[in-house]
Amino acid sequence: MSKIIAVSNQKGGVGKTTTTINLAASLAMADQRVLVVDMDPQGNLTSGLGQKSGAEHTVYEALLGDEDLPVLQTAVDKLHLVPAGRHLAAAEVELVSIEERERRLARLLEAVRQRYDFILIDTPPSLGLLTLNALVAADTVLIPLHCEYFALEGLADLMATLSRIRNGLNPALDVEGVVLTMFGDRTNLGAQVAREIREFFESKVYDTVIPRNVRLAEAPSHGLPVLLYDPRSRGAEAYVALAHELLTRNGAAPRRTAAAKA
């Protein structure tokens, strides 16, 4: 089994990058072979995994040129990274004139796909060509929703984009799941928004909820997934639980517990 999952929501600050890093690390600690791809010009996934921006070989050169995807090892054994660099913002414009511009990433991932159990793609907070490339390459979309603040606002745009892509470029595109992030259980608003989201997406919403946890916000400045930065934090436990739930829903039992490894 090999699955490509785009982590997407056109709103910024909802936990896309945090989820990509920590879900991917948790899957890798559960003995899955995992690749993460940074498609956001901000490069937060790249820096959050300890890579300096300014690398010569990034996803940009592969998207625009003839190069293969550059794949880097991270601090987690089975977790590899395709980094972004500062040029990636230009790709949004430069891709426009390129043949099969929406399928560039899909083509590049075909070459590496069989080496991985999961490929997670982090996307920018927009529905431009970089996000489109991710959604065309993906089997499914994982949607992080921030529970406390107008979570459902703008979702109509994302759902419309998904159905447009299903009607054309990627008919098999499915929703992998919806994950509630930055949940603060002391506020009624969070609980109320969570209920609304569950009504809207029903069983697509994971039982696992990611709490607001400062360790999750601190870990990227150390260039580490939270599982290496503070494995006993609530944030780490939540992403391990999310990984196990995702594996179970995909009919794959975790091969080894993250706790045993960490």
Q: Does 78 bind Mg ion (CB under 5 A)?
A: no
Instruction: Count CB atoms within 10 A of the CB of residue 215.
Output: 15
Q: Contact region for Mg ion (CB under 5 A) — 15-23, 70-78, 189-197, 236-244?
A: 15-23
- Going by C-beta distance under 8 Å and a sequence separation of 6 or more, which residues neighbour residue 175? 140, 141, 143, 162, 201, 204
CB of 38 to Mg ion, least distance (A): 9
CB-wise, 58 or 61, nearer to ligand ADP?
A: 58
* Binding partner at 216 among ligand ADP, Mg ion, none, C-beta below 5 to 8 Å by kind: ligand ADP
CB-wise, 26 or 44, nearer to Mg ion?
A: 44
CB-wise, 16 or 244, nearer to Mg ion?
A: 16
Q: What is the per-residue burial (b if ≥16 Cβ within 10 Å, else e) of 41-71? A: bbbbbbbbbbbebebebbbbbbbbeeeebbe
Angle at 205 between CA 199 and CA 211, to 5 degrees: 110
Instruction: Select from 147, 239, 146 the least CA-distant residue to 191.
Output: 147
Q: 131, 124 in Cβ contact below 8 A?
A: yes
Look-up of token digits 């899955």: 32
CB-wise, 61 or 146, nearer to ligand ADP?
A: 146
Q: Does 17 bind Mg ion (CB under 5 A)?
A: yes
Contacts to ligand ADP by CB under 6 A: 12-18, 44, 125, 181-182, 210, 212-213, 216-217, 235
Instruction: Select from 205, 204, 211 the least CA-distant residue to 237.
Output: 211
CB of 44 to ligand ADP, least distance (A): 5
CB-wise, 18 or 26, nearer to ligand ADP?
A: 18
* Binding partner at 213 among ligand ADP, Mg ion, none, C-beta below 5 to 8 Å by kind: ligand ADP
CB of 17 to Mg ion, least distance (A): 3
CB of 49 to ligand ADP, least distance (A): 13
Beta bridge partners of 80: 35, 73
* Binding partner at 18 among ligand ADP, Mg ion, none, C-beta below 5 to 8 Å by kind: ligand ADP
CB-wise, 43 or 85, nearer to ligand ADP?
A: 43
**H/E element holding 217?**
helix 214-218
Q: Which residue of this chain has its Cβ atom nearest to Mg ion in the complex?
A: 17
Q: Does 11 bind Mg ion (CB under 5 A)?
A: no
Q: 143, 175 in Cβ contact below 8 A?
A: yes
